[in-house]
Structure 1
Amino acid sequence: MKMNRKSTGISALIVWMGGCMLACSGICLWAIRRSEAAFYTRASLLMSAAPESAGKMMQALKSGLPEQEAAGAGLLKRYGYEAGLFVFHDFAGLAVRLSLCFLLLGAAGFFCYWWDKKRRERRVGELSGYLARINRGEYDMGISSAEDEYSRLQDEIYKTVIKLRESREEAAEGRQKLSENLTDISHQLKTPLTSISLLQELLEEQVEREEGRQLLERMEQQTEHIRGLVSALLTLSRLDAGVLVLEKKTVDLQELLTSAAESVRSLADHRKQKILMEGAEGLQLSCDLGWTAEALANILKNCSEHSPEGGCIFIRAQQNFIYTRIEIEDEGPGLSPEECKRIFERFYQGRKSGRENVGVGLSMAKSLIESQNGEIRAENRKNGGARFVIDFYSDGGNPARDL
């Protein structure tokens, strides 16, 4: 739209200047023809007044000498005719005057267009800068009070700024209250869970039969499952509310991957699986070490649960000036087309999911990764199995999102 308006203004200016030039050219041609006619008329009058000197006059007109021209100028001056552009009483003088008027009008039009264009650019730049400050959270009122065609837009922007500031303040208060409520809920849930764990330990000391011990073990597993589920849901809620603080700093990528792998080491050992890493030596990543390790651990846990016993889980890393990529692969049955699209949805359960899997681990991993300028996608390996590709973009931005 901006380019179209600019092109339209330039086209109108070109048409205006072209019209002025054509008008000046037409007037000059008309003046030349009229001057020729006037010269012919006056020459005819001179010839008729002195027919005996017609030959000399024609000879002087065709090839007059300078002294003859000077003598003739003196005679003309005696009768009130003087040389000069603005006192020459013929059509040529009038034509020149009109041409100059048109040229002055053209110059004035150009100046008016240029001045109006600059004024509009200043006003648009002022309004754009004001909106940019608002986007940065600077709610100042430093905007011009000029009365022009942009005044109504300026008033609407001002009203929107007031409403936006009030909405942001209310949202900030709401997030703060939500954060406090989530903290209270977390403490309230941890207390009974801790009590249940202590009661289980006391019961284990008193129960002697094997069946009772098995029941207690299952109860303990369920308690741990509830604890993990509550923790995951609280983390997702804090992410949704925007109150989860991520402390980004430069960490060693090998350390990050090792920390994530250690979180699922017991599960992998129980299923006799190996976790193999390559490509992370010497690489660094700007992220929150704890939360990023937890996000990767959730992906590794998913791969371990869907890989056969004795299988391998592969972690590969690479880096360039745009992003740091982490690929996690398993040797399981792979993903269906629907699972590739929906696997990161909250509470989604795939066709191979266990009963205890409620579908929040991968959703939380996705939220944690995206909150750190990252992306994650799921796909299938060529030789079978699932692959999770995580890209952490550099501070320059996410090229895909910029487009």
Structure 2
Amino acid sequence: MAGLIVLTVCALLLAAFLGRKLYLLKQDVYRFADQLEKSLDGIISGKEPGEDCEDEVCGDVACGDCEDEDTLWGKIYEKLRRADHIWQRKEEESLSEKNKMKELISDISHQTKTPVANLKLCMEILQDEPMSERAEEFLNSMEGQIEKLDFLIQGMVKISRLETGVITIRDRESDLRATIGRAVAAIVPKAEEKQIRLYVDCDREIQIRHDGKWTEEAIFNLLDNGVKYTDAGGEIHIEVKVQEMFIQICIRDTGKGIAPERQAEIFTRFYREPEVHEQEGIGIGLYLARKIIELQKGYIEVKSEVGEGAEFRIYLLNT
């Protein structure tokens, strides 16, 4: 009987001891998780790991243990500190590279703008001078090549600025209809040359947050693509639909259409369909349009069949 009592007491003591150990272990885990969370929050906010560490917050794994690499927290802390320093150095290097790229792009833009402008001026002067029919033919050819060169340079500069973050999207609440109107007005001369009729269905102001300048650029590029690949006498329809989460801008043309297997490729840089190389362009308009809309947390989709025209849909957040 006495032995049974002793065994029972021992079992109770063992259970109490194990319960206490389990409780302390759980407390250590909770404190460790809390300290890890605070350190990660500090890194995210730009502070050193453990910078805000205080004894009353950290408990037993307090500031003194941060420097002790023999403890579990000390090891984790040291790894976090190293990772933080690596990230900071990478960020500084990235910023330095971005600044260098910004200077390079600005220099290229400045250095090419002046000679192209001078070439255009010389062309205009020469066109007023009497010359043979053959000389005039060459002059017109040179004018076309200069325009292509200017377009290529400006396109490359825009791509570089967007991709390196030199130009950032600055969205503010403004009238989307006015943005669309500017893009349509810019494409009218090209459309009139091919006798392509433009129709716009947007009968009211739509106030949303967007970058008017760059969104206009994206819409213009889609319209330019439509005019380029639509035969003379065709049509382009622009329709705006207000949805619950998005504003949809639909641009539909009566052009040659796009094969389904190529529809993913048309938004890549410098992509041009094999059968349209006689058309002007270098294959950056749709890429730029997609990039601009994505930077505004929107997206573009295309629906098309060969010979049945193309329909591009821009989706911008309705906020």
TM-score between both structures, scaled by the size of structure 1? 0.68
| Secondary structure at the counterpart of residue 206 of structure 1 | coil
Task: Choose from 28, 50, 55 the match for 1:119.
Answer: 28
Matched AA of 1:182: I
Check conservation: 2:219, 2:289, Cα contact below 8 A. Answer: yes
| Secondary structure at the counterpart of residue 358 of structure 1 | coil
Deviation of the 1:179 alpha carbon: 0.2
Check conservation: 2:257, 2:306, Cα contact below 8 A. Answer: no
Deviations 1:259-279 (A, max 9, x none): 111121111111111222224
Percent of aligned positions that are identical: 27
Check conservation: 1:314, 1:330, Cα contact below 8 A. Answer: yes
Q: How does 1:269-348 map to 2 (within 5 A)?
A: 269-279=192-202, 281-348=204-271
Task: Choose from 216, 236, 246 the match for 2:169.
Answer: 246
How many angstroms apart in 2 are the aligned matches of 1:328 and 1:175? Answer: 35
How many angstroms apart in 2 are the aligned matches of 1:116 and 1:184? Answer: 62
Q: Does 1:223 align with 2:146?
A: yes
**C-alpha distance 169-299 of structure 1, shift in aligned 2 (>3 A):** same
Matched AA of 2:310: A
Q: How does 1:67-86 map to 2 (within 5 A)?
A: none
**C-alpha distance 135-234 of structure 1, shift in aligned 2 (>3 A):** farther
**C-alpha distance 190-383 of structure 1, shift in aligned 2 (>3 A):** closer
How many angstroms apart in 2 are the aligned matches of 1:133 and 1:303? Answer: 50
1:393: which partner in 2? 317
2:129: which partner in 1? 206
1:377: which partner in 2? 301
Deviations 1:214-244 (A, max 9, x none): 4433322322221121111011111221111
Matched AA of 1:373: K
TM-score between both structures, scaled by the size of structure 2? 0.85
Matched AA of 1:389: R
| Secondary structure at the counterpart of residue 329 of structure 1 | strand
| Secondary structure at the counterpart of residue 264 of structure 1 | helix
**C-alpha distance 382-177 of structure 1, shift in aligned 2 (>3 A):** closer
Matched AA of 1:207: P
Deviation of the 1:203 alpha carbon: 0.4
| Secondary structure at the counterpart of residue 189 of structure 1 | helix
Check conservation: 2:254, 2:310, Cα contact below 8 A. Answer: yes
How many angstroms apart in 2 are the aligned matches of 1:165 and 1:133? Answer: 13
How many angstroms apart in 1 are the aligned matches of 2:191 and 2:294? Answer: 27
Deviation of the 1:112 alpha carbon: 3.4
Deviations 1:125-160 (A, max 9, x none): 432343344345x14242654353243232112111
Q: Does 1:258 align with 2:167?
A: no
Aligned residues, how many? 303
Deviations 1:14-67 (A, max 9, x none): xxxxxxxxxxxxxxxxxxxxxxxxxxxxxxxxxxxxxxxxxxxxxxxxxxxxxx
**C-alpha distance 132-382 of structure 1, shift in aligned 2 (>3 A):** farther
**C-alpha distance 109-94 of structure 1, shift in aligned 2 (>3 A):** same
**C-alpha distance 324-115 of structure 1, shift in aligned 2 (>3 A):** farther
| Secondary structure at the counterpart of residue 199 of structure 1 | helix
Greater RCO, CA 8 A, separation 6+: 2
Unpaired runs of 5+ residues, structure 1, are 1-90, 396-403
Deviation of the 1:381 alpha carbon: 6.1
**C-alpha distance 103-175 of structure 1, shift in aligned 2 (>3 A):** same
Larger Rg over CA atoms: 1
2:18: which partner in 1? 109
1:359: which partner in 2? 283
How many angstroms apart in 1 are the aligned matches of 2:176 and 2:151? Answer: 26
Q: Does 1:128 align with 2:46?
A: no
**C-alpha distance 169-393 of structure 1, shift in aligned 2 (>3 A):** same
Deviation of the 1:359 alpha carbon: 0.6
1:140: which partner in 2? 48
**C-alpha distance 384-391 of structure 1, shift in aligned 2 (>3 A):** same
| Secondary structure at the counterpart of residue 326 of structure 1 | strand
Check conservation: 1:264, 1:300, Cα contact below 8 A. Answer: yes
Check conservation: 1:253, 1:281, Cα contact below 8 A. Answer: no
Check conservation: 1:175, 1:241, Cα contact below 8 A. Answer: yes
How many angstroms apart in 2 are the aligned matches of 1:354 and 1:382? Answer: 17
| Secondary structure at the counterpart of residue 267 of structure 2 | coil
Deviation of the 1:108 alpha carbon: 4.6
Check conservation: 1:280, 1:318, Cα contact below 8 A. Answer: no
Superposition RMSD in Å: 2.6
| Secondary structure at the counterpart of residue 384 of structure 1 | coil
Moved more, 332-341 or 348-357: 348-357
Check conservation: 2:260, 2:305, Cα contact below 8 A. Answer: no
Check conservation: 1:253, 1:280, Cα contact below 8 A. Answer: no
